[in-house]
Amino acid sequence: MANALIDTDILSELLRGRNARVIARAKEHVSQFGPFAVSVMEFAKGLEKVGRINELDSLLLRLKPLQILGFTSGEARVAGIIYGALERTGAPIGRADPMIAATALSHDLTLVTGNVNHYERVRTLGHPLRIENWRN
């Protein structure tokens, strides 16, 4: 079982091999804890948006060694609560990030992201979201 959920920005850096620090941290994590988890929703959205959805299956094949998490009604409930609270307080972070935060919370995973500012807003609401930035 994974103990970290990799946000799309960090996963993108890993897939492209562009950030040596992120790659080193990922290798360290895998050697210590085993595979990490990913959510492919943002990748599917991005590929569809640029007219390259046909690349999704090949991406999923590349991610096969990882734990790929789905999105359940429990996670949808938590994401909706986060999303609504952030909108009510005037600090929205889009639709995907509350879903990713809810997935990490529901599976008791540390969220690895470079987008710490967005996810700090989730913690400000009182959710016990653990965050790491492998770029630092």
Residue range 16-42: mean pLDDT, rounded: 90
- Report whether pLDDT(5) > 80: yes
User: Percent of the chain scored above 70 by pLDDT?
Assistant: 99
- Across-strand partners of 110? 4
Between helices 116-124 and 73-88, what is the axis angle to 10°?
90
pLDDT at 1: 54
Pseudo-torsion of CA 77, 78, 79, 83, nearest 10°? 100
Sketch out the chain's domains with CATH numbers: 4-132 (3.40.50.1010)
User: Stretch 11-38: mean pLDDT, rounded?
Assistant: 91
Q: Rounded to whole angstroms, how far apart are CA atoms 72 and 74?
A: 5
How confident is the prediction for the chain on average, in pLDDT? 91
Q: Which of 83, 136, 92, 129 is nearest to 114 (CA)?
A: 136
Residue 111: how many CB atoms within 10 A of its CB?
A: 25
Helix boundaries (H) for the chain? 8-16, 20-33, 41-49, 56-62, 73-88, 96-106, 116-124
- Mean of pLDDT values over 42-51: 86
What is residue 69's predicted lDDT score, i.e. its pLDDT? 86
Q: Give the list of residues 6+ apart from residue 104 with CB closer than 8 angstroms, or none.
A: 5, 110, 111, 129, 130
